[in-house]
Amino acid sequence: MPKEDSTPQVENTESVSPKRKLLLPAVVASAMLVEGVAIFGAVKLFGPGPDRALAMDTIAGVGADLQPKSVEMDIADFKALNEKSGLTFVVDISVSAKVPMDRAEDAERLVEEKSKTIVDRLTLAVRSAEPNHLKEEDLATIRRKMKFELDKILDDDTIVEELLITRFQKFRADF
């Protein structure tokens, strides 16, 4: 005959009330809400605030000087051959430059005096350009080479603010 256990078995009759089950998530949610409000208030109170818009300067009269600070002038119109890819391309190009208003007369004089040298060096920049440089949307590499050569010819890198390529047409020359 098997021995009977003399210890009474106690059943777990404790039942957790539904209010008690919701207490912990409610406390955590309220702590997160208080923390969020505190951080938001601290940022608003101690933050730098919004930046001033550029348009506000012109409305307030700060940007009232409407005089242009630079002028655009034509530098050269030329055609150059490019044979770097094994194919011959004729590139028809017009180059202009933005020049500071106070140096415009000097720049015009220098460009007129050295026009043949300028055309030679700019043509060389196009002739020596790699095929992928001729395919760039903004022609950044050719533009950079041309600006470097132009600054070297004019002996001053502050005369030309920006080089503008106003016409760039590439045609195949070998059929």
DSSP string, 77-107: EEEEEE-TTSS-EEEEEEEEEEEEGGGHHHH
Give 54's pLDDT tier (boundaries 50, 70, 90): low
pLDDT tens-digit profile of 88-100?
999 999 999 999 9
Contact 173, 88 (CB under 8 A): yes
Exposed, middle or buried, 16 (CB in 10 Å: 0-12/13-18/19+)? exposed
pTM above 0.75, yes or no: no
pLDDT band at 51 (very low <50, low <70, confident <90, very high): confident
Are residues 121 and 148 in contact, defined by beta-carbon separation less than 8 angstroms?
no
Cβ–Cβ under 8 Å, residues 153 and 117: yes
CB atoms within 10 A of CB 28: 10
Tens-digit pLDDT profile for residues 108-140? 999 999 999 999 999 999 999 998 999 999 999
Whether 99 and 161 have beta carbons less than 8 Å apart is answered as yes
pLDDT of residue 12 exceeding 90: no
For residue 6 the two structure tokens come to 């003399």
Domain annotation for the chain: domains and CATH numbers: 70-172 (3.30.479.30)
CB atoms closer than 10 angstroms to residue 113: 11
Cα 127–Cα 131–Cα 133 angle in degrees, nearest 5 = 85
Burial class (CB in 10 A: 0-12, 13-18, 19+), 9: exposed
pLDDT for 6 equals 61
